[in-house]
Amino acid sequence: MALLLVLGAPATAQAQSWMSDVQLGVATGLEGAGTGSGVGWQRARTRLILSLDLGSDEHAQDAYGVRTFVELERSLSVGAEFGYVRWVIPELNFFFGGVAVLAPETLFGGTAAANYTFPLGKRVGIALFTSLSVLPLGSDRPGDGVVMWWLLGLGIRGRL
Amino acid sequence: MPRLRLEPLLALALALTACGANCLRDSDCDDGRQCVRDSCVRPSVAEDASASGAAGQAGGQGMINPSYPGMGGTGGVGGASMTEQGGAAGTNGSQGGSAGMDASFGGSATQPRENLDASADADADVDAS
Protein backbone atom coordinates (compact mmCIF):
# COMPACT_ATOMS: atom_id res chain seq x y z
CA MET A 1 0.00 0.00 0.00
CA ALA A 2 2.80 2.38 0.90
CA LEU A 3 4.52 1.55 -2.38
CA LEU A 4 1.37 2.38 -4.34
CA LEU A 5 1.08 5.70 -2.56
CA VAL A 6 4.66 6.56 -3.36
CA LEU A 7 4.31 5.58 -6.98
CA GLY A 8 0.99 7.32 -7.35
CA ALA A 9 2.04 10.54 -5.78
CA PRO A 10 2.57 13.28 -8.33
CA ALA A 11 6.20 13.96 -8.93
CA THR A 12 7.46 17.46 -8.88
CA ALA A 13 7.62 18.50 -12.52
CA GLN A 14 10.58 20.54 -13.59
CA ALA A 15 9.25 23.87 -14.74
CA GLN A 16 10.03 24.72 -18.33
CA SER A 17 10.14 28.41 -18.95
CA TRP A 18 10.12 30.24 -22.21
CA MET A 19 12.61 32.83 -23.21
CA SER A 20 11.50 35.55 -25.53
CA ASP A 21 13.59 38.27 -27.08
CA VAL A 22 12.19 41.30 -28.82
CA GLN A 23 14.19 43.44 -31.20
CA LEU A 24 13.37 46.64 -33.03
CA GLY A 25 15.73 47.68 -35.78
CA VAL A 26 16.23 49.60 -38.97
CA ALA A 27 18.07 48.21 -41.99
CA THR A 28 19.08 49.00 -45.52
CA GLY A 29 21.64 47.68 -47.97
CA LEU A 30 21.74 46.45 -51.53
CA GLU A 31 18.91 45.15 -53.67
CA GLY A 32 19.64 43.26 -56.86
CA ALA A 33 17.52 41.64 -59.52
CA GLY A 34 17.86 40.03 -62.91
CA THR A 35 16.75 42.55 -65.50
CA GLY A 36 16.91 40.31 -68.56
CA SER A 37 20.20 41.86 -69.62
CA GLY A 38 22.24 41.21 -66.50
CA VAL A 39 21.81 41.91 -62.83
CA GLY A 40 20.82 45.40 -61.78
CA TRP A 41 21.58 46.85 -58.36
CA GLN A 42 20.20 49.65 -56.29
CA ARG A 43 20.11 50.64 -52.68
CA ALA A 44 17.59 48.52 -50.81
CA ARG A 45 14.62 50.25 -49.32
CA THR A 46 15.06 51.26 -45.73
CA ARG A 47 12.90 49.14 -43.50
CA LEU A 48 11.78 48.90 -39.91
CA ILE A 49 12.01 45.40 -38.47
CA LEU A 50 10.26 44.11 -35.37
CA SER A 51 11.32 40.63 -34.36
CA LEU A 52 10.35 38.14 -31.70
CA ASP A 53 12.43 35.06 -30.84
CA LEU A 54 10.83 32.41 -28.70
CA GLY A 55 12.63 29.44 -27.20
CA SER A 56 12.72 27.10 -24.24
CA ASP A 57 15.31 27.37 -21.50
CA GLU A 58 15.82 23.62 -21.78
CA HIS A 59 17.17 24.17 -25.29
CA ALA A 60 18.73 27.54 -24.84
CA GLN A 61 20.62 27.34 -28.12
CA ASP A 62 17.50 26.91 -30.21
CA ALA A 63 14.58 29.21 -30.81
CA TYR A 64 12.03 30.15 -33.40
CA GLY A 65 11.80 33.65 -34.71
CA VAL A 66 9.27 35.86 -36.41
CA ARG A 67 10.29 39.13 -38.01
CA THR A 68 7.82 41.59 -39.42
CA PHE A 69 9.08 44.47 -41.50
CA VAL A 70 7.79 47.56 -43.23
CA GLU A 71 9.63 48.94 -46.24
CA LEU A 72 9.45 52.69 -45.89
CA GLU A 73 10.71 54.01 -49.22
CA ARG A 74 9.08 54.32 -52.62
CA SER A 75 5.84 52.50 -52.05
CA LEU A 76 5.13 51.30 -48.53
CA SER A 77 5.11 47.51 -48.25
CA VAL A 78 4.72 44.98 -45.48
CA GLY A 79 6.41 41.62 -45.06
CA ALA A 80 7.42 38.92 -42.61
CA GLU A 81 10.05 36.27 -41.95
CA PHE A 82 9.69 33.04 -40.04
CA GLY A 83 12.48 30.66 -39.21
CA TYR A 84 14.85 28.86 -36.91
CA VAL A 85 17.26 30.72 -34.64
CA ARG A 86 20.50 29.14 -33.52
CA TRP A 87 22.53 30.78 -30.77
CA VAL A 88 26.26 30.18 -31.17
CA ILE A 89 27.39 32.26 -28.22
CA PRO A 90 25.23 34.37 -25.91
CA GLU A 91 25.79 37.43 -28.09
CA LEU A 92 25.56 35.87 -31.55
CA ASN A 93 22.78 34.03 -33.31
CA PHE A 94 22.00 32.90 -36.83
CA PHE A 95 18.57 32.88 -38.41
CA PHE A 96 17.46 30.65 -41.28
CA GLY A 97 13.98 30.82 -42.68
CA GLY A 98 11.49 32.03 -45.20
CA VAL A 99 10.82 35.62 -46.13
CA ALA A 100 7.81 37.17 -47.81
CA VAL A 101 6.65 40.58 -48.88
CA LEU A 102 2.89 40.33 -48.46
CA ALA A 103 1.39 43.65 -49.55
CA PRO A 104 0.76 45.50 -51.77
CA GLU A 105 2.79 43.24 -54.12
CA THR A 106 4.25 39.86 -53.18
CA LEU A 107 7.68 38.30 -53.03
CA PHE A 108 8.61 34.92 -51.53
CA GLY A 109 11.97 33.36 -50.82
CA GLY A 110 14.53 32.32 -48.26
CA THR A 111 16.80 34.25 -45.96
CA ALA A 112 19.79 33.79 -43.68
CA ALA A 113 20.86 36.33 -41.09
CA ALA A 114 23.44 36.90 -38.38
CA ASN A 115 22.70 38.99 -35.32
CA TYR A 116 25.27 40.19 -32.79
CA THR A 117 24.17 41.87 -29.59
CA PHE A 118 26.38 44.24 -27.60
CA PRO A 119 25.04 43.92 -24.04
CA LEU A 120 24.10 47.13 -22.27
CA GLY A 121 22.78 45.40 -19.19
CA LYS A 122 21.31 42.13 -18.12
CA ARG A 123 18.32 42.27 -20.47
CA VAL A 124 19.02 44.97 -23.04
CA GLY A 125 21.54 45.32 -25.80
CA ILE A 126 22.39 47.01 -29.07
CA ALA A 127 22.02 44.65 -32.01
CA LEU A 128 24.02 44.72 -35.21
CA PHE A 129 22.68 42.40 -37.87
CA THR A 130 23.09 41.45 -41.49
CA SER A 131 21.01 39.26 -43.77
CA LEU A 132 21.04 37.80 -47.24
CA SER A 133 17.72 37.02 -48.90
CA VAL A 134 16.86 35.46 -52.24
CA LEU A 135 13.29 35.86 -53.48
CA PRO A 136 12.53 33.90 -56.66
CA LEU A 137 8.72 33.97 -56.41
CA GLY A 138 6.00 36.60 -56.34
CA SER A 139 4.37 39.33 -58.35
CA ASP A 140 6.86 42.10 -57.61
CA ARG A 141 9.74 40.62 -59.56
CA PRO A 142 11.03 42.13 -62.80
CA GLY A 143 9.67 39.56 -65.26
CA ASP A 144 10.93 36.15 -64.20
CA GLY A 145 13.94 37.55 -62.39
CA VAL A 146 15.07 36.84 -58.85
CA VAL A 147 15.21 39.63 -56.30
CA MET A 148 18.10 39.63 -53.82
CA TRP A 149 18.67 41.67 -50.69
CA TRP A 150 21.82 42.12 -48.70
CA LEU A 151 20.93 44.17 -45.65
CA LEU A 152 22.81 45.70 -42.75
CA GLY A 153 20.92 46.90 -39.73
CA LEU A 154 21.06 48.31 -36.25
CA GLY A 155 18.57 47.84 -33.47
CA ILE A 156 17.81 47.51 -29.83
CA ARG A 157 17.18 44.12 -28.28
CA GLY A 158 15.51 43.19 -25.04
CA ARG A 159 14.68 39.99 -23.18
CA LEU A 160 11.17 39.77 -21.78
CA MET B 1 40.72 49.88 -31.72
CA PRO B 2 41.17 50.07 -35.50
CA ARG B 3 39.59 53.02 -37.26
CA LEU B 4 36.73 52.14 -39.54
CA ARG B 5 37.49 53.32 -43.06
CA LEU B 6 34.46 54.95 -44.57
CA GLU B 7 35.87 55.74 -48.01
CA PRO B 8 34.89 52.39 -49.60
CA LEU B 9 31.37 52.70 -48.23
CA LEU B 10 31.05 56.26 -49.53
CA ALA B 11 32.34 55.18 -52.92
CA LEU B 12 29.82 52.36 -53.02
CA ALA B 13 26.99 54.71 -52.08
CA LEU B 14 28.02 57.18 -54.78
CA ALA B 15 28.28 54.42 -57.38
CA LEU B 16 24.83 53.14 -56.50
CA THR B 17 23.41 56.65 -56.72
CA ALA B 18 25.01 57.31 -60.08
CA CYS B 19 24.67 53.92 -61.73
CA GLY B 20 21.82 52.29 -59.82
CA ALA B 21 18.90 50.80 -61.69
CA ASN B 22 15.83 52.97 -62.26
CA CYS B 23 13.70 50.16 -60.95
CA LEU B 24 14.05 46.52 -60.01
CA ARG B 25 10.54 45.75 -58.78
CA ASP B 26 7.15 46.69 -60.17
CA SER B 27 6.44 48.50 -56.94
CA ASP B 28 9.40 50.79 -57.67
CA CYS B 29 7.26 52.30 -60.44
CA ASP B 30 4.24 54.56 -60.29
CA ASP B 31 0.79 53.03 -60.32
CA GLY B 32 -0.09 51.42 -63.65
CA ARG B 33 3.52 50.88 -64.73
CA GLN B 34 5.76 47.86 -64.67
CA CYS B 35 9.48 47.46 -64.27
CA VAL B 36 10.95 46.00 -67.47
CA ARG B 37 14.71 45.89 -67.90
CA ASP B 38 15.20 48.35 -65.07
CA SER B 39 12.86 50.96 -66.60
CA CYS B 40 9.27 51.76 -65.76
CA VAL B 41 6.93 51.25 -68.72
CA ARG B 42 3.22 50.92 -69.31
CA PRO B 43 2.02 47.29 -69.30
CA SER B 44 1.18 47.30 -73.05
CA VAL B 45 4.68 48.49 -73.90
CA ALA B 46 6.11 45.94 -71.48
CA GLU B 47 4.35 43.07 -73.26
CA ASP B 48 5.53 44.29 -76.66
CA ALA B 49 9.04 44.77 -75.39
CA SER B 50 9.20 41.25 -74.00
CA ALA B 51 7.83 39.78 -77.25
CA SER B 52 10.32 41.76 -79.31
CA GLY B 53 13.09 40.83 -76.94
CA ALA B 54 12.39 37.13 -77.31
CA ALA B 55 12.37 37.40 -81.08
CA GLY B 56 15.47 39.54 -81.05
CA GLN B 57 17.35 36.98 -79.02
CA ALA B 58 16.19 34.22 -81.37
CA GLY B 59 17.50 36.19 -84.30
CA GLY B 60 20.80 36.87 -82.66
CA GLN B 61 20.23 40.60 -82.73
CA GLY B 62 21.17 43.17 -80.15
CA MET B 63 19.09 44.81 -77.47
CA ILE B 64 15.83 46.52 -78.20
CA ASN B 65 15.49 50.01 -76.87
CA PRO B 66 11.78 50.59 -76.35
CA SER B 67 10.64 54.17 -76.28
CA TYR B 68 9.24 55.48 -73.04
CA PRO B 69 6.77 58.27 -72.57
CA GLY B 70 8.40 61.51 -71.69
CA MET B 71 11.74 60.80 -73.34
CA GLY B 72 11.18 63.13 -76.26
CA GLY B 73 8.72 65.18 -78.19
CA THR B 74 7.75 62.32 -80.46
CA GLY B 75 7.98 59.63 -77.88
CA GLY B 76 4.34 58.75 -78.34
CA VAL B 77 4.78 58.22 -82.06
CA GLY B 78 7.80 56.08 -81.48
CA GLY B 79 5.90 54.03 -78.99
CA ALA B 80 3.10 53.37 -81.46
CA SER B 81 5.55 52.23 -84.09
CA MET B 82 7.25 50.02 -81.54
CA THR B 83 3.95 48.37 -80.70
CA GLU B 84 3.17 47.40 -84.28
CA GLN B 85 6.63 46.19 -85.10
CA GLY B 86 7.03 44.44 -81.79
CA GLY B 87 3.97 42.36 -82.54
CA ALA B 88 5.42 41.30 -85.86
CA ALA B 89 8.70 40.48 -84.21
CA GLY B 90 7.04 38.30 -81.65
CA THR B 91 5.71 35.93 -84.27
CA ASN B 92 8.47 36.01 -86.81
CA GLY B 93 11.49 34.24 -85.44
CA SER B 94 14.84 35.42 -86.65
CA GLN B 95 13.39 38.09 -88.90
CA GLY B 96 11.79 39.47 -85.77
CA GLY B 97 15.21 40.45 -84.56
CA SER B 98 15.57 42.79 -87.47
CA ALA B 99 12.16 44.23 -86.79
CA GLY B 100 13.20 44.79 -83.22
CA MET B 101 16.13 46.90 -84.35
CA ASP B 102 13.82 49.00 -86.45
CA ALA B 103 11.61 49.44 -83.45
CA SER B 104 14.46 50.99 -81.56
CA PHE B 105 15.02 53.46 -84.37
CA GLY B 106 11.32 54.24 -84.31
CA GLY B 107 11.63 55.11 -80.67
CA SER B 108 14.18 57.83 -81.33
CA ALA B 109 12.97 61.26 -80.41
CA THR B 110 14.90 62.78 -83.29
CA GLN B 111 13.56 60.55 -86.06
CA PRO B 112 11.25 62.42 -88.46
CA ARG B 113 7.82 61.02 -89.10
CA GLU B 114 8.63 60.32 -92.77
CA ASN B 115 11.50 58.10 -91.75
CA LEU B 116 9.27 56.21 -89.38
CA ASP B 117 6.96 55.43 -92.26
CA ALA B 118 9.91 54.38 -94.37
CA SER B 119 11.01 52.12 -91.56
CA ALA B 120 7.57 50.57 -91.50
CA ASP B 121 7.78 49.93 -95.22
CA ALA B 122 11.13 48.33 -94.81
CA ASP B 123 9.68 46.09 -92.16
CA ALA B 124 6.92 45.07 -94.50
CA ASP B 125 9.56 44.05 -97.02
CA VAL B 126 11.37 42.03 -94.42
CA ASP B 127 8.23 40.30 -93.31
CA ALA B 128 7.25 39.54 -96.89
CA SER B 129 10.59 37.94 -97.58
Rg (CA), chain A: 20
Under-70 pLDDT residues of chain B: 1-6, 9-20, 45-129
What confidence score (pLDDT) does residue B96 get?
Answer: 39
Q: Does B35 touch chain A (CB under 8 A)?
A: yes
Distance CA A105, CA A107 (A): 7
Task: Considering only the beta carbons, identify the residue of A35, A43, A139 that sits closest to B37.
Answer: A35
Q: Work out the mean pLDDT of chain A and round it to a whole number.
A: 90
Contact B26 A42 (CB under 8 A): no
Burial of B123 (0-12, 13-18, 19+ CB in 10 A): buried
pTM of the full structure: 0.63
Pick among A28, A41, A106, A137 to test the B interface (most B CBs inside 10 A): A41
Q: Which of B17, B24, B63 sits opposite A40 (nearest CB)?
A: B24
- Does residue A21 carry a pLDDT above 90? yes
Using CA coordinates, name the residue in chain A closest to B14. A43
Contacts of B63 in chain A (CB under 8 A): 37
**Among the listed residues A46, A28, A44, A32, the one whose alpha carbon sits nearest the alpha carbon of residue A146:** A32
pLDDT digits over B19-41, tens only?
A: 567 888 888 888 888 888 878 88
ipTM of the complex: 0.73
Q: What is the pLDDT of residues A84-112, one digit of tens each?
A: 999 999 999 999 999 999 999 999 999 99
Which of A35-44, A56-65, A78-87, A88-97 shows the lowest mean pLDDT across its residues? A35-44
Is the peptide bond preceding residue A10 cis, with omega within 30 degrees of 0? no
